[in-house]
Amino acid sequence: MIQFVNERFIPVAVNNSRLQRQADDEGRFLRLISWQGRYGYSFEEAQARLEDIDHGLNHQGLYVVTTEGEVLGSRNRLFPGGKASVHGVGSDPDRFLWMLRRALENWENRKTQREALEIEDLAYRDPTFSWTEYPEDGLILHLGVRDLPREVDTRPSGMKREAHNQDYVWFRREEVLSMVPPDAAVGDVIPMPDGLVRRLVRYHLADYVRGETSSWPSEAIQDAAMTLTVTEKTPEWVDLRLSGSAQLFSEGSWYEGACRERGLDASLLGYLRFDLRTERFVRFDVVAVGSRWGGTDYNVRQEDLEPAPIGIAMTIAGQEARDRTAPHACQSRGSLERYFNA
């Protein structure tokens, strides 16, 4: 399938959270496609809705289109009433492949993009989203999250047992420097700055294993603390051991009232190395392990509300384009400011 996609299509992977609300031609192009491919509107009806950036609806999906927005195939189509035709856009590879083949048949009979075109660069990009906030000289962590083995396991096989997810953690340069005092000596126990603890806990100790969830509200933090102990120091680097814990609890109503609370009781441990010459971390490996319970509307826990073990690991991110993806909590207007001021 991968070779098939590479040879016959121009594949793009994009961040729907921003595009579906962008007030520029790129956002309008996505909405032209998704109003048709996901919501079933005609091309003309979709065109009439392009300026609506406060639609409050989800436009994610898999789409095959011409450059003029003629939809040749799509997945994650919604039926009337808002019920999704599939859970997750990639959950059935056979149906996905069928869609791609059908789209190629439609390509042969397309009404638009009948010849090579030259499309100009995007002249204007909606400035209300943060395009340049990636902390170039800061610290970026790549996070993985998954369920851990259970002694009593009633989960069905498949996605609900095997799911894993990922996120990115951002620290600015001044925040990195605040973690390691210049005069730190072996044996020193340094409290992790409170704002960084709150950021890690509220935004990154979250149950994204099966799907999206919301960040923890500030008042959900029952207890959270992290310390850095200097374990070794040379003229070139400092080694630190991170340890900590977090207890989170929040009440609400999810799954039409079937779930009234969610919580997490976790411990953290990590090994860090800070290069004194470059003033950068060269190792930042952290694990959080604990019991989670409850769920939120989109993280697919409605049949898995009882306490069960979850694991989260963070390490320094790579340099691929995808490694510049903003933290999941930073995908809406104003969210980046909230993230850095947790």
Partner 1 sequence: PALTDETFAALFEACRPQQERWTDIPWIGGLWEGRQKAAREEKPLFIWAMNGH
Q: Residue 19 interacts with partner 1 (CB under 8 A)?
A: yes
CB of 116 to partner 1, least distance (A): 5
Q: Residue 139 interacts with partner 1 (CB under 8 A)?
A: no
Q: Residue 104 interacts with partner 1 (CB under 8 A)?
A: yes
Binding mask 281-300 for partner 1 (x = CB under 8 A): ----x-xxx-----------
Q: Which of 56, 51, 14, 50 is nearest to 32 (CA)?
A: 50
Q: Residue 214 interacts with partner 1 (CB under 8 A)?
A: no
Among 135, 138, 193, 311, binds partner 1 (CB under 8 A): 311
Among 21, 142, 198, 210, binds partner 1 (CB under 8 A): 142
Q: Which is nearer to partner 1, 16 or 178 (CB)?
A: 16
Among 47, 66, 227, 247, binds partner 1 (CB under 8 A): 66
Residues in CB range of 184: below 8 A, 6 or more apart: 190, 230, 233, 238
d(CA 159, CA 173): 38
Alpha carbon separation from 179 to 40, 44, 51, 164, 200 (Å, rounded): 51, 55, 45, 29, 14
Binding mask 167-196 for partner 1 (x = CB under 8 A): x-----------------------------
CB of 279 to partner 1, least distance (A): 25
End-to-end CA distance of the chain: 43
- Using left for φ > 0, alpha for ψ between -120 and 50, and beta otherwise, residue 187 falls in left
Q: Which is nearer to partner 1, 121 or 219 (CB)?
A: 121
Number of residues lying near partner 1 (CB under 8 A): 73
CB of 36 to partner 1, least distance (A): 12
Q: With CB under 8 A as the contact rule, which of the stretches 119-127, 132-140, 197-205, 334-342 interacts with partner 1?
A: 119-127
Q: Are 172 and 133 in contact (CB under 8 A)?
A: no
Q: What tokens were used for 213?
A: 């969830």
CB of 267 to partner 1, least distance (A): 5
Q: Which of residues 215-274 bind partner 1 (CB under 8 A)?
A: 267-269, 271
* One-letter-per-residue 3-state SS of 211-237: CCCCCCCHHHEEEEEEEEEEEEECCCE
Q: Residue 325 interacts with partner 1 (CB under 8 A)?
A: yes
Q: What tokens were used for 2?
A: 């991968």
Q: What tokens were used for 103?
A: 């789209």
d(CA 267, CA 245): 4
Among 283, 315, 316, 338, binds partner 1 (CB under 8 A): 315
Q: Residue 140 interacts with partner 1 (CB under 8 A)?
A: no
Q: Which is nearer to partner 1, 238 or 329 (CB)?
A: 329
Backbone φ and ψ for 219, nearest 5 degrees, come out as -75, -5
CB of 182 to partner 1, least distance (A): 27
Alpha carbon separation from 158 to 139, 217, 292 (Å, rounded): 35, 31, 20
Handedness of CA 324, 330, 331, 332 (dihedral sign): negative
Q: Which is nearer to partner 1, 143 or 248 (CB)?
A: 143
CB of 174 to partner 1, least distance (A): 26
Q: Residue 335 interacts with partner 1 (CB under 8 A)?
A: no
